[in-house]
């Protein structure tokens, strides 16, 4: 067990050691400074800009940037719907997989465009090679979109007054070519050498040790696995995601993939410090995020390593801990770390089945998504944390009787209203969706076209755990995470459409809101720091931000968590 704990510690510090220099590199890209790889990427980017007719020297305001963001996502949405609904007769389909139904195609398209990757299908049978390649492209696009939005906010926070915040297309393309692509090539290459397939051949025919003939799915998996982790996408090539040996062959690949999940989100925090020349601010943000993360990792690892008390009462030994739904090659500690890492970010990939986790572990995973700002998704994680900073600054200013200021710009009513709307949208989507699904299931409502049978049939687990499954699904959709308690029967029109709507709203409004706040702040007069200025790069302010997160998230979600995972936890100790 000590070895398992050392593995967790190694993953964190190894990722941190890589994230710091990567953050410095990203800051140089955002600032347009020379980097080591300019000779490689400059010609490639010029081709993209020339073909698309983009003038990167033309700067945009925040509104123009958001119009550009929404426009390209609409184009990708329409293309994806066509391909997924037509994949059965399109090329690169050696296994003869059928086309997706309209509701499944809608959910899948929104899911990948929004960086969620909530898969209500099994990758090896539900998508063709062409569809998998298209979805892999969206994993680059959605991650690049988030990084570009983050770059716009960084630009807006500079010490000046302007409405020009750089060129969205320039940030977007460079995020894909200079950050995501090279890192993905490195990770994919390692995965190939460790055993992940990278081929366009169809299923392999194998003879098992028992003498049975088996048809094993392969395909261009390694490339998709790399970007799914680095881009905090999470969508697996195979149905079992990173619990599948072809996706995650051994403990070494588990270390690399787990570290890849939060590498870029952490690096972007450090990039903020380098870009604004405010390293103390970056360390404050990183400190709060890491403290929140530790508060969720420790109980999850503890409960998974100590096993299920209900099973222990039966006199059954659990020397390895809670191994239900877990891979022996990883063990409970590494599985628990992944569970929290993937839900702290908007990744959503899994190396174990979250539905089989102990109730407290499942609650910690849900809390990570409910906060949705502990490292968070690539780019958007900082945007969500930025909302909490704005709220904390406003409250702190009221407490000391001064006009709230952040980085020399006044926080006024308009910015505060946007911040609160964006924060409240998250619990609104989660709680409304969960309430509707719970009401339908509780009354065993006939669903007609929406579901084959009565609503209670989509629950394979009754009681508290069944409620947790529905709560987790909408929490995952709203956090653009994509993981799930897979005991829920979600491959049907009700869950496809409802979760698709939630994913769409929770993706674009939480990007537009922080960018709007940053754009409004950028237009205001810069006020130099004085002795009376509230310092936002100190440990004291970090405690304030943590308190704001704890109070707001606790008030929003405690009652639902009490009805689900907490209630289930206490039933384990009943005689």
pLDDT of residue 421: 97
CA gap 575, 565 in Å, rounded: 19
Instruction: Quote the tokens at residue 123.
Output: 């990758």
Helix axis angle, 413-442 to 359-371, nearest 10°:
140
Helix axis angle, 359-371 to 331-344, nearest 10°: 20
Pairing of strands 213-216, 409-410: unpaired
For position 399, what pLDDT does the model report? 86
Task: Read off the DSSP letter of residue 455.
Answer: G
Question: How far, in Å, CA of 436 to CA of 456, rounded?
Answer: 12
Name the nearest CA neighbour of 139 among 343, 348, 344.
Answer: 348
Cβ contacts of 297 within 8 Å, gap of 6 or more: 8, 336, 337, 340, 364
- Ranges of residues in the chain whose predicted pLDDT is under 70: 1, 575
Instruction: Name all contacts of 543-548 with Cβ < 8 Å and 24+ positions apart.
Output: 544/392, 544/395, 544/396, 545/284, 545/288, 545/388, 545/389, 545/392, 546/288, 546/291, 546/292, 547/392, 548/388, 548/391, 548/392, 548/395
The runs of H, that is alpha helices, within 195-278 are 221-230, 251-276
The half-sphere exposure of 21 on its side-chain side, counting CA atoms within 13 A, is: 6
Residues 226, 233: Cα–Cα separation, whole Å? 10
The string over 543-561, giving b where at least 16 C-beta atoms fall within 10 Å of a residue's C-beta and e elsewhere, is ebbbebbeebbeebbeebb
| 496, 103 Cβ separation under 8 angstroms | yes
d(CA 382, CA 135): 25
Please state, in angstroms and rounded to a whole number, the distance separating the CA atoms of residues 412 and 521.
9
- Residue 208's pLDDT is 83
Nearest to 524 by CA among 360, 414, 372: 414
| pLDDT score recorded for residue 397 | 87
Query: Could you tell me if 476 and 482 are in contact, meaning their C-beta atoms sit under 8 angstroms apart?
Result: yes
Report the C-alpha gap between 252 and 122 in whole angstroms: 25
458: three-class secondary structure by DSSP: helix
**CA angle (301, 302, 308) in 5-degree steps:** 105
Do residues 197 and 246 lie in contact, with contact meaning Cβ atoms separated by under 8 Å? yes
Distance CA 347, CA 253 (A): 17
pTM (predicted TM-score): 0.95
Distance CA 181, CA 177 (A): 5
- pLDDT tens digits for range 243-269: 999 999 999 999 999 999 999 999 999
As separate numbers, helices (DSSP H) first and strands (DSSP E) second, the chain gives: 20, 4
CB 574 within 8 A of CB 367: no
Specify the pLDDT at position 1: 54
Q: How far apart are CA 300 and CA 325, in angstroms?
A: 15
pLDDT at residue 231, rounded to an integer: 96
């Amino acid at each position: 067990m000590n070895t398992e704990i050392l593995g967790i510690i190694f993953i964190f510090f190894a990722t941190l050691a890589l994230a710091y220099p990567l953050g410095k590199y990203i800051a140089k890209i955002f600032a347009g400074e020379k980097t080591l790889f300019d000779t490689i990427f400059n010609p490639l980017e010029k081709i993209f800009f020339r073909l698309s007719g983009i003038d990167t020297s033309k700067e945009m305001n925040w509104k123009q940037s958001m119009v550009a963001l929404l426009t390209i996502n609409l184009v990708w949405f329409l293309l994806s719907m066509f391909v997924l609904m037509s994949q059965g007769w399109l090329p690169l389909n050696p296994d003869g997989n059928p086309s997706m139904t309209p509701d499944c195609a809608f959910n899948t398209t929104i899911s990948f465009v929004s960086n969620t990757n909530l898969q209500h299908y099994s990758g090896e049978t539900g998508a063709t090679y062409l569809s998998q390649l298209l979805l892999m492209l969206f994993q680059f696009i959605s991650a690049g979109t988030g990084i570009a939005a983050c770059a716009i906010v960084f630009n807006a926070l500079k010490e000046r007054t302007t409405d020009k915040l750089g060129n969205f297309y320039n940030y977007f393309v460079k995020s894909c070519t200079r950050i995501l692509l090279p890192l993905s090539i490195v990770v994919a290459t390692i995965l190939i050498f460790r055993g992940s397939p990278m081929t366009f051949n169809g299923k392999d025919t194998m003879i098992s040790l028992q003498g049975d003939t088996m048809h094993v799915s392969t395909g261009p998996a390694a490339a998709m696995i790399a970007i799914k982790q680095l881009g905090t996408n999470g969508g697996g090539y195979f149905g079992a995601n990173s619990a599948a040996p072809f996706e995650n062959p051994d403990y070494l690949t588990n270390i690399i993939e787990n570290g890849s999940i939060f590498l870029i989100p952490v690096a972007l925090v450090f990039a903020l410090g380098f870009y604004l020349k405010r390293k103390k601010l970056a360390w404050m943000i990183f400190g709060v995020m890491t403290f929140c993360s530790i508060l969720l990792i420790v109980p999850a690892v503890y409960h998974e390593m100590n096993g299920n008390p209900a099973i222990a009462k039966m006199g059954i030994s659990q020397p390895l801990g809670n191994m239900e739904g877990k891979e022996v090659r990883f063990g409970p500690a590494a599985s628990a770390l992944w569970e929290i890492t993937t839900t702290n970010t908007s990744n959503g990939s899994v190396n174990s089945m979250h539905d089989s986790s102990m109730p407290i572990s499942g609650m910690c995973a849900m809390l990570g998504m409910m906060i949705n700002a502990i490292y968070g998704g690539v780019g958007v994680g900082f945007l969500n944390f930025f909302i909490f900073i704005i709220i904390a600054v406003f409250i702190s200013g009221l407490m000391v009787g001064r006009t709230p200021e952040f980085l020399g710009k006044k926080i006024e009513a308009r910015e505060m209203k946007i911040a609160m709307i964006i924060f409240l949208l998250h619990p609104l989507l989660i709680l409304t969706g969960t309430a509707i699904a719970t009401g339908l299931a509780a009354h065993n409502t006939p669903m007609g076209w929406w579901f084959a049978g009565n609503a209670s049939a989509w629950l394979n687990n009754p009681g508290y755990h069944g409620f947790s499954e529905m709560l987790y699904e909408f929490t995952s959709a709203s956090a653009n995470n994509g993981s799930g308690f897979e005991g829920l029967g979600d491959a049907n029109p009700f869950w496809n459409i409802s979760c698709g709507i939630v994913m769409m709203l929770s993706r674009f409004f939480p990007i537009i809101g922080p960018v709007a706040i940053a754009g409004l702040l950028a237009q205001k007069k810069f006020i130099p720091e004085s002795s009376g200025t509230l310092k936002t790069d100190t440990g004291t302010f970090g405690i304030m931000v943590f308190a704001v997160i704890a109070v707001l998230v606790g008030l929003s979600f405690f009652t639902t968590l009490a009805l689900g995972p907490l209630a289930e936890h206490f039933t384990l100790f009943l005689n």
